[in-house]
């Protein structure tokens, strides 16, 4: 059995679906369905079982992992980058991860977990190097703290692998609302108002020209499954495209798919000054050196695939 924590969430449910597509259905999803709308992310997936995250954690700390676990894909976390409750953030993103890690090490179970590009803060370096790690919020710090813990393990004896996700977008993210990708927000704005709203220039970038490494969730799933198939591979790797594109590029891709719309630039919020990543671009040399040689979708390709999937879901549910 493969355990996917956060398996009803955005990336987790896409991983469950990707596992299904290659014939895997012996999957235990661990999540929190206080937000019951997340059920829709699993409705078309085949899983063996579901367990609430609190019940799973209690059982884990009492008895360890059950027998027969082939791997854990740990995607569960508090992902609200605007959350400043440090106790909550460190418990969910650091302590829970540490508990899972040691349970896996005890039974030699491969452990692949979600880290984040937020550990790099405003850059300018985006390679997997401690010199580049300067998080801007407690979410980024919680992810960095666990990465540092993993680094101190040295050679753990079984697979321990972290993936620093850059700006992921794609199907099954609607439940995230404010924390959903800009592609999701731009689509909603366009449908409601006929326009897409972007920030005016900041940090030396022109209007809408702030640039991020946007990666389609299908590409993330391919990276995770590549690592799952190579239990000898451990370490911390960036999971991005290696190519920064502007918010204007995302907006234009959304408008192009819909066939109409305009862009309006709005003032940059004071609350985000000094806490905003105006530029990210993954150094993917480590991932490439590990043998992952598949191409990544551009924003134009990924946004089209995303909106095609949303359209197809709407048609199927009509």
267 occurs within a structural domain:
no
Q: How confident is the model over 174-232, as pLDDT tens digits?
A: 999 989 999 999 999 999 999 999 999 988 999 999 999 999 999 999 999 999 999 99
What is the pLDDT at residue 58? 97
56 occurs within a structural domain:
yes
Cα–Cα distance measured from residue 75 to residue 54, given in angstroms and rounded to the nearest whole number:
15
pTM over 0.85, yes/no = yes
State the first-to-last Cα distance of the chain, in angstroms, to the nearest integer: 34
Q: How confident is the model over 1-39, as pLDDT tens digits?
A: 999 999 999 999 999 999 999 999 999 999 999 999 999
| Residues paired with 27 in a beta bridge | 2
Name the residue range of residue 155's domain: 2-169+216-242+281-296
103 occurs within a structural domain:
yes
206 occurs within a structural domain:
no
Cα–Cα distance measured from residue 2 to residue 27, given in angstroms and rounded to the nearest whole number:
5
Q: How confident is the model over 226-255, as pLDDT tens digits?
A: 999 999 999 999 999 999 999 999 999 999
Which DSSP helix (H) or strand (E) runs through 218? helix 217-228
Q: Write the CATH number for 25.
A: 3.40.50.720
269 occurs within a structural domain:
no
147 occurs within a structural domain:
yes
- List residues with catalytic annotation: 139, 176
309 occurs within a structural domain:
no
Domain count within the chain: 1
195 occurs within a structural domain:
no
């Amino acid at each position: 059995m493969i355990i996917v924590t956060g398996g009803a969430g955005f990336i987790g449910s896409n991983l469950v679906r990707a596992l299904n597509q290659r014939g895997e259905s012996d999957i235990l999803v661990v999540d929190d369905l206080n937000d019951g709308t997340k059920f829709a992310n699993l409705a078309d997936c085949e899983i063996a079982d579901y367990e609430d995250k609190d019940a799973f954690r209690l059982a884990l700390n009492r008895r360890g992992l059950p027998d027969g676990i082939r791997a854990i894909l740990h995607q569960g976390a508090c992902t609200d980058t605007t959350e400043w409750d440090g106790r909550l953030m460190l418990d969910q993103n650091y302590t829970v991860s540490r508990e899972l890690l040691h349970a896996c090490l005890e039974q030699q179970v491969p452990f692949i977990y979600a880290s984040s590009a937020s550990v790099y803060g405003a850059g300018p370096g985006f390679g997997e190097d401690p010199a580049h790690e300067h998080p801007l919020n407690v979410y980024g710090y919680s992810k960095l703290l666990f990465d540092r813990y993993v680094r101190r393990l040295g050679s753990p004896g079984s697979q321990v692998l972290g993936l620093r996700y850059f700006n992921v977008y794609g199907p099954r993210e609607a439940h995230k609302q404010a924390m959903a990708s800009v592609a999701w927000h731009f689509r909603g704005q366009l449908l409601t108002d006929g326009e897409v709203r972007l920030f005016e220039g900041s940090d030396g970038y022109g209007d809408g020209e702030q640039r991020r490494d946007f990666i389609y969730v299908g590409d993330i799933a391919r990276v995770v499954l590549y690592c799952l198939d190579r239990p000898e591979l451990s370490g911390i790797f960036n999971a991005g495209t290696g190519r920064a594109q502007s918010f204007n590029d995302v907006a234009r891709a959304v408008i192009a798919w819909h066939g109409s719309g305009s862009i309006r630039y709005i003032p940059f919020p004071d609350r985000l000054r000094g806490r905003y990543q105006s530029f990210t671009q993954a150094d993917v040399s480590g991932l490439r050196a590990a043998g992952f040689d598949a191409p990544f979708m551009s924003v134009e390709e990924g946004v089209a695939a995303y909106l095609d999937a949303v359209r197809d879901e709407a048609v199927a549910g009509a």
